[in-house]
A and B are shown apart, each in its own frame.
Chain A
Amino acid sequence: MIINHPKLGPRDAAEFTILGDASMLNRPDWQADNADDEFYTYVYLRDNPAGLHRELWFHEQGDRSWLVVTRDTITHDVVDVSLASNVALAAKSKKVTKTLNTKKTREKLKSKGQNR
């Protein structure tokens, strides 16, 4: 398998180690009321699809970056590769805008006089 590294170009998959499902980037909130349920799901349950799978690979024998690789588990074709840091950042900013946009947070912020 060849992984097309966003910065280094095509690299042999043997240079990498794989951690598993990229859902591991979405760590649940440990202070939430349902944190135990959320963490059970996060740590143990997997979609394990036959087909496209987003997964975390570590370029151990290269630039030691973490990548999110989208790969077909039936054919082993790698269809998309991005830096995990970018994926995580994008998810974070999305989450922040989402929280800011929910009515409840807006009201909460308003009552505290923090509305922007």
Chain B
Amino acid sequence: MIFKSLVNSIIPSDLMSKSSGKLHSSVLQQKKSFSLLQCLQQSNFIVGHVIARVDMRYSIWSLINQALTGNQGWKPAWREPEPKKNYQIIIIGGGGHGLATAFYLASRYGMSNIAVLEKGWIGSGNIGRNTTIIRSNYLLDGNEPFYEESLKLWEGLEQDLNYNAMISQRGIINLYHSDSQRDAYVRRGNAMRLHGADAKLLKLEQLRNMCPFLDFENARFPVMGGLLQARAGTARHDAVAWGYARAADQRGVDIIQNCEVTDFIIKDGACVGVKTSRGTITAGKVGVAVAGSTSRVMAKAGLRLPIESHVLQAFVSEGLKPVIPGVITFGAGHFYISQSDKGGLVFGGNIDGYNSYAQRGNLPVFEDVCQSGMAIMPMIGRARILRNWGGIMDMSMDGSPIIDKTPIDQLFLNAGWCYGGFKATPASGLCFAHLLARDEPHEVAKKLRLDRFRCGAMLDERGAGAQPNLH
């Protein structure tokens, strides 16, 4: 589309072939007045090819060049290499976190000879299933600096990756419905600001101006105001996976799809490689970032973890004109909503609550989520839901993640992301890369330890205790 509109803006539309969007070369030849255009096309072709040969960077030049040459020159965004016998570092899981880890290992820690092993195709897991909210509005010392680091990385991500991930800082508002909830949000906002994040408490009148459609007079849960993080927003989830994959691949990382890790090779208490559906691969270090499959995969290394796998559903409505300005969350139930650039309302709520590996949920939660939505914005009641799906999340015992070594040498773990791991993707990749490269935790991930459950240094934002389905 973008290419087409670009071409349209340069060339009168009657010169375009209606069906394919390609230039009619015969028309060009007939009309002498377009020799200038031909020159332009020619020069862009040359410039474009030079650029293409350098690294196939996406830019206005590559766009124009491709637009003028019928979009025939786009190359696959990453290679499909055969797995080598040995790598310095193997990352298991080609989700957002695994791909980001590989990218930062290559770009910031100067490592090469890295493979990402993915059992399906990249983007088939939660990275392609989430509701795309990015934010850093956490309370605890162990979490907030980490998520703020992540938000800073999001802000420069498209430039780092040379990829349009459609990052849109449209803001998030957490609604409050009681005096005590307002006090809790004031405390959270202050904690955020102490860590350099932005937060603003919205009074009722301010909120009325921004979101006039909310059910302010709701008898049971009147809306009293909200906590705004203006720098929060949304991103195109699969573009994040593709962008990291392409950028990692350009730095020499082998992304190997359809390659399921079936076992670990452990010698003298150290992990020295993995068995996969595509053969045995040895490695200096192995990092596991398989989200919902964490317990399954780590059981192969004999580890039991403080994690349960649960299903979370997401919902998308038919496309509507712009109605919802940013991300809005309900404070008296579990419901969050935003509107995609295509116009669909993207929303979700509670996890189903029972252990699941099914990637689909059940109807009671469907009903619950829709009821919560209706409680704060009755205007969505007439919108039809087009699609709904589920993803399997690695719910940890305190609701916070783990980026740490394991009791097995050279085997590292990145897990416990619950339903909030999309926003964490950049920082998770950076911190996991740091741990893998340096053998010590990154400054902002020091408290995301595996042994915190044993020693009591829990990071329980919600104060819900050791019950994963309550976080």
* A residues with CB within 8 A of B: 1, 12-14, 17-21, 40-41, 43-50, 53, 55, 71, 73-76
The reply to whether B305 and A48 form a contact with Cβ atoms under 8 Å apart is yes
Answer whether residue B355 sits at the interface, using C-beta atoms and an 8 A cutoff. yes
In the complex, which range does the number of interface residues on chain B fall in? 20 to 34
Known: A13-B364, A19-B467, A76-B362. A53 touches B355 (CB 8 A): yes
A49-B295, A71-B355 are known; give 17 further A-B pairs, CB within 8 A: A13-B354, A20-B355, A20-B468, A21-B355, A44-B453, A44-B454, A46-B295, A47-B295, A48-B295, A48-B305, A48-B309, A71-B354, A73-B354, A73-B355, A73-B357, A73-B358, A74-B357
Q: Which residue of A lies closest to B367 (CB)?
A: A14
Contact with A along B278-299 (1 / 0, CB 8 A): 0000000000000000011001
Answer whether residue B196 sits at the interface, using C-beta atoms and an 8 A cutoff. no
The reply to whether B306 and A44 form a contact with Cβ atoms under 8 Å apart is yes
Answer whether residue B307 sits at the interface, using C-beta atoms and an 8 A cutoff. yes
How far is the CB of B196 from the nearest CB of chain A, in Å? 32
Residues on A with C-beta less than 8 A from B118 are none
The reply to whether B364 and A73 form a contact with Cβ atoms under 8 Å apart is no
Q: List 17 A-B contacts (CB under 8 A).
A: A1-B362, A13-B364, A20-B355, A20-B468, A21-B355, A44-B397, A44-B466, A45-B304, A46-B304, A48-B296, A49-B296, A55-B355, A71-B355, A73-B357, A73-B358, A74-B357, A75-B358
* B residues with CB within 8 A of A: 295-296, 299, 304-309, 353-358, 362, 364, 397, 453-454, 466-469
Known: A74-B357, A75-B358. A48 touches B307 (CB 8 A): yes
The reply to whether B309 and A17 form a contact with Cβ atoms under 8 Å apart is no
The reply to whether A45 and B364 form a contact with Cβ atoms under 8 Å apart is no
Known: A13-B362, A13-B364. A73 touches B309 (CB 8 A): yes
Residues on A with C-beta less than 8 A from B466 are 43-44
Residues on B with C-beta less than 8 A from A74 are 357-358
Known: A20-B308, A46-B304, A48-B305. A55 touches B357 (CB 8 A): no
In the docked arrangement, what's the CA distance between A43 and B469, Å? Answer: 14
How far is the CB of A9 from the nearest CB of chain B, in Å? 19
The reply to whether B453 and A40 form a contact with Cβ atoms under 8 Å apart is yes
Q: Which residue of B lies closest to A43 (CB)?
A: B466
Residues on A with C-beta less than 8 A from B397 are 43-44
In the docked arrangement, what's the CA distance between A71 and B358, Å? Answer: 12
In the docked arrangement, what's the CA distance between A14 and B371, Å? Answer: 15
In the docked arrangement, what's the CA distance between A43 and B465, Å? Answer: 10
Our pick among B305, B356, B364 for the contact of A46 (Cβ within 8 Å) is: B305
Residues on B with C-beta less than 8 A from A73 are 309, 354-358
Our pick among A18, A49, A75 for the contact of B354 (Cβ within 8 Å) is: A18
The 3 A-B pairs at the shortest CB distance, nearest first, are namely A48-B295, A14-B364, A44-B306
In the docked arrangement, what's the CA distance between A13 and B368, Å? Answer: 14
In the docked arrangement, what's the CA distance between A71 and B469, Å? Answer: 17
In the docked arrangement, what's the CA distance between A41 and B305, Å? Answer: 9
How far is the CB of B308 from the nearest CB of chain A, in Å? 5
The reply to whether B467 and A20 form a contact with Cβ atoms under 8 Å apart is yes
How far is the CB of A25 from the nearest CB of chain B, in Å? 15
Q: Which of A18, A21, A44, A47 has the most CB of B within 10 A?
A: A44
In the docked arrangement, what's the CA distance between A74 and B308, Å? Answer: 14
In the docked arrangement, what's the CA distance between A19 and B354, Å? Answer: 8
The reply to whether B362 and A50 form a contact with Cβ atoms under 8 Å apart is no
Q: Which residue of A lies closest to B394 (CB)?
A: A48
Known: A40-B453, A55-B354, A74-B357. A47 touches B468 (CB 8 A): no
Q: Which residue of A lies closest to B361 (CB)?
A: A76
Residues on A with C-beta less than 8 A from B306 are 44-46
Residues on A with C-beta less than 8 A from B308 are 20-21, 46, 48
Residues on A with C-beta less than 8 A from B357 are 50, 73-74
Q: Which residue of A lies closest to B398 (CB)?
A: A44
How far is the CB of B352 from the nearest CB of chain A, in Å? 9
The reply to whether B469 and A18 form a contact with Cβ atoms under 8 Å apart is yes
The reply to whether A76 and B307 form a contact with Cβ atoms under 8 Å apart is no
Q: Which residue of A lies closest to B353 (CB)?
A: A18
